[in-house]
Amino acid sequence: MSDNGSNKGAAHAPLKVVLCWHMHQPNYFDPAAGEYHLPWTYLHGIKDYVDMVAHLEAVPKAKAVVNFAPILLEQLDDYSHQVERFLKEGSVITDPLLAALVSPALPKDNEGRTQLVKACLRANEKTIIHRFPNYQRLADMALRLELRSDEWMYINSQYLADLLTWYHLAWLGETVRRSDTRAQTLIAKGSGFSMHDRRLLLELISELLSGVIGRYRRLAEEGRVELSVTPYAHPIVPLLLDIGSTREAMPDAKLPLADHYPGGLERSEWHIKKGIETYEQHFGMKPKGCWPSEGAISMATLALMDKYGFSWAATGESVLRNSLNLLQTPAELRDVQVIHQPYRPAEQQINCFFRDDGLSDLIGFVYSKWHADDAVGDFIQHLENIAAANVDKPDAVVSIILDGENAWEYYPENGYYFLSALYERLANHPGLDLTTFSEVLQQQASPSSSLPHIVAGSWVYGSFSTWIGSEDKNRGWDMLVEAKRVYDQVATSDKWSEEQRRALERQLAICEGSDWFWWFGDYNPSDAVRDFERLYRLQLNTLYQMLGVAPPEYLAHSFTHGGGNPAAGGVMRQGRES
């Protein structure tokens, strides 16, 4: 965040501002068990994905870039189809929590009831649970029961039904609660929810899940949103290409025992091609831009994206700082350190935008504690200061890039007042041009400056430390490398049908996703580490079983445990290391 000069008005071309929201959830489905292990895809679907598109729909002059991970699009599709089939035919819903919402037979045993109750308390206590007195009363009862486990037998099915109903009502988007009479009626009823009530709520959930992607597509077709994509299963592509690229930003980093990922180039290209294919299936157009998984880039990664026709990529401010500080960077770029403009890697056509870490992190970590009007006013003031410092730079652009789904539960009303005011004021500010990355490139007065080398890194601290370099993360990589070597020995056999081969490729891709490595480490909360570490081992185990090979014995044992208390529960990180 660079504040230079003072607000002098809008005498020159308005400052370009891009809001880029990244939507992503890893694959929570375990094909061996035939069910989803965690509910976050559909819960964010009915809360954050619908709210974010509703805010854009409400302000016709507003624009944004919205990035979708392909593995998320597929899961949203699956949930939508499952719920629709249940409502029409009574077929199975394979998410245990969502299925319980409309189950006529809720758990009778203490263990089953305990697990269900705990699942229905996984929400922000201050902004979600405490907001609804009836939900809070049920949650308080559950907390008392934790101290008196012998009393679970006295909890009846109505308590469980009410808790399930309130959990899903509380996870609805704020724009839904304000506009849908079904949600309002159920909230007003407050307790004693019947099977009819619960089915009515599921019908609402079905409508939200089945319609949300189409709403983004319509905005894109109208030119009000630019949609972009991530490599298919959200892998850290630079590490697939070259594990040693870790040391460009972390020279002393400890690396896994494996010195490379077998077939990394082939796998990286598979993720990019599959990502583009999935994007086109959902949105009916070819993506112009790519938010690489976690903004993780390297010169080799950008060259691949250039090869596949992307006109832009984006990453973190610290990656640019590291790159500008190289001695091989021309002095006129190194000395000025301009972050509010795109750059081009040498001998490539792709442009790279860089996140303004200060402004992005204000939205992610600070403004949730402010009054919405004060927060938006402060944000606008920062932008006006940047505009005043760039009056002679028509290509200046401020890139605000952050998680589009996890920040809002820390805001009152899921960020409703903040986002409404933010879009309204940005869209109507005479000195600011709320735009998209592709429009920025189309309107460039001169080509982007060329950098001889862009240092490998991500939006988090400008390095790959979130995914590699610690004992637990490196252990995760060695487990993946071993699985890949077995895959290479077995999957190339002629015995596999084309359908089986595609299933194997997809399962390997899921194992290659970045999220597992994000959560490994003692600085993360123990519950989250347990969930993701267990699911990672389940996904590897499934890959071995699909290959017809006995899984290694170590997959039966946990190898990382957590125990930290990071900001935002670890689901988000700041761009700069504090």
**Three-state SS annotation for 260-298:** CCCCHHHHHHHHHHHHHHHHHHHHCCCCCEECCHHHCEC
CA–CA–CA angle 159, 160, 165 (5° rounding): 100
CA–CA–CA angle 36, 524, 75 (5° rounding): 25
> What is the reported pLDDT for 6?
39
Beta bridge partners of 397: 16
What is the overall mean pLDDT for the chain?
94
The Cα 89–Cα 81 span in angstroms is 11
From residue 161, alpha-carbon distances to 41, 87, 97, 265, 529 in Å are 22, 18, 12, 50, 29
Q: Could you read off the pLDDT of 116-128 as tens digits, one per residue?
A: 999 999 999 999 9
Give the residue among 130, 95, 116 at the shortest CA–CA distance from 164. 116
DSSP-derived secondary structure letter, 540 = H
pLDDT band at 492 (very low <50, low <70, confident <90, very high): confident
The Cα 363–Cα 366 span in angstroms is 6
Give the residue among 146, 97, 145 at the shortest CA–CA distance from 123. 97
Give the residue among 267, 219, 233, 202 at the shortest CA–CA distance from 74. 233
User: Rounded mean pLDDT of 299-317?
Assistant: 98
User: Per-residue pLDDT for 56 more than 60?
Assistant: yes
> What is the reported pLDDT for 567?
63
List the single range of 41-55, 136-150, 235-249, 519-533 with lowest mean pLDDT: 519-533
Q: Which residue type occupies 346?
A: A
> What is the reported pLDDT for 524?
72
Q: Is beta strand 35-36 parallel, antiparallel or unpaired with respect to 29-30? A: antiparallel
Q: Is the pTM above the cut of 0.75?
A: yes
Ordered domains of the chain (ranges, CATH) = 1-24+230-489+502-578 (3.20.110.20), 76-213 (no CATH)
Backbone φ and ψ of 15, nearest 5°:
-75, 130
Q: Could you read off the pLDDT of 405-422 as tens digits, one per residue?
A: 999 999 999 999 999 999
Q: Could you read off the pLDDT of 208-247 as tens digits, one per residue?
A: 999 999 999 999 999 999 999 999 999 999 999 999 999 9
User: Per-residue pLDDT for 509 more than 50?
Assistant: yes
- Which H or E run includes 30? strand 29-30
Residue 511 Cα to chain centre, angstroms: 17
